[in-house]
Structures are given as C-alpha cells and as structure tokens.
Structure 1
Amino acid sequence: KQRWARINDLVCKFAGCYNTALREQRSGQNDNDVMKAALDIFNSDQNIKFNLEHAWRELRHDVKWCSTYLEKDKDKRKTTDTPVAEPEDRPIG
C-alpha cells in the first residue's frame, strides 16, 4: 500500500508534466522530444529524477487510473456555475 501511494503520487505529478509538455509541443517535435521535455519539467519542479517511466507507460491508458487522475484534476479546478435566469412573461397590455 505504501509503495502504491508513492508510485501513484509521482506518476500523477509526472502526468501533469507530460500534459504540460504536450501542450507546449512545437511543430516537428516527436513523442521522444515531448517525453524529454516532460522529464525536464518534472526534474525542475520536484528536484528529483523521474524513474517510474515504466509505471507511467502502463497506467496512462488504464481506465481506473485515468478516472482517478481526472477526478483529482477536476477537484483542483474551480467551477463557476452561474444559474441562468429564465425570461419572465411580459404583462398583458
């Protein structure tokens, strides 16, 4: 259980770094370039080298992990649901 918590935490952080690198992907960059950029981002943010690439590759398309990761991501975002007022009927006359 302790190992899973550590792996899950680091893999979630790396997934965020990978998504950032993917959004910043320029024309002509391939998957290896994006991975290198993600590793650089992770290293600069966490001050450690990401050594769980094998776990991330296994988990990134796993349905259970993706839903957990997306739920955490949704919790971080603030949603502003403003109710839309319905138009009132005009009085006769």
Structure 2
Amino acid sequence: MTPSIKATSTELTGGAGFTYEDTVVAYYLTALLREEHAAGQSGVVISVAVQQSGHGHPMDDVVVEFEDTAGKRPLALQVKRSLRIT
C-alpha cells in the first residue's frame, strides 16, 4: 500500500492571513457571479480557484481566469496582509 499525501487545510495554517485571503477571493467570486470585470483587468472573470500549488501554480492563493478579445488569461496571486522584506 502506498500512503496517500494530503494537503494541510489552510484554515489550520493560515491564521489572520486566511481571513484576508477570504476577502480577496470573495471580491473575485462576486465579479464571477455578476459576469463583470475586476479592478485593473480588461477581461471578464470566468473562473476563480484557491490554493492551487498542487496544480503547478507557484502563486497559489488565488488563481483567477479572465476572458477578453485576446482570449483567456490567468492571474495568479499570493495574498498577504502585509509586505515583509528579509
């Protein structure tokens, strides 16, 4: 038997940043449901996914796909409450 690898829930490891991430996700989900543009983007939101590191997205917190006259474009975001440079 091969042991299965399971990802740890972001609710357990995310802390306060997870609550902020929820706010960002809610913004893009609202644009998706309303079939609208999101701020700073020309295309209409056509999909929203979260925690996509297991699917090859290094910026994995929120992955939003837009569609405009040029076609489909992904926007991958790493959501942080504050910026820390070390």
So what's the TM-score if we normalise by structure 1? 0.29
Higher relative contact order (CA 8 A, sep 6+): 1
Which structure has greater strand proportion?
Answer: 2
So what's the TM-score if we normalise by structure 2? 0.31
Which structure has greater helix proportion?
Answer: 1
Rg (Cα) greater in structure = 1
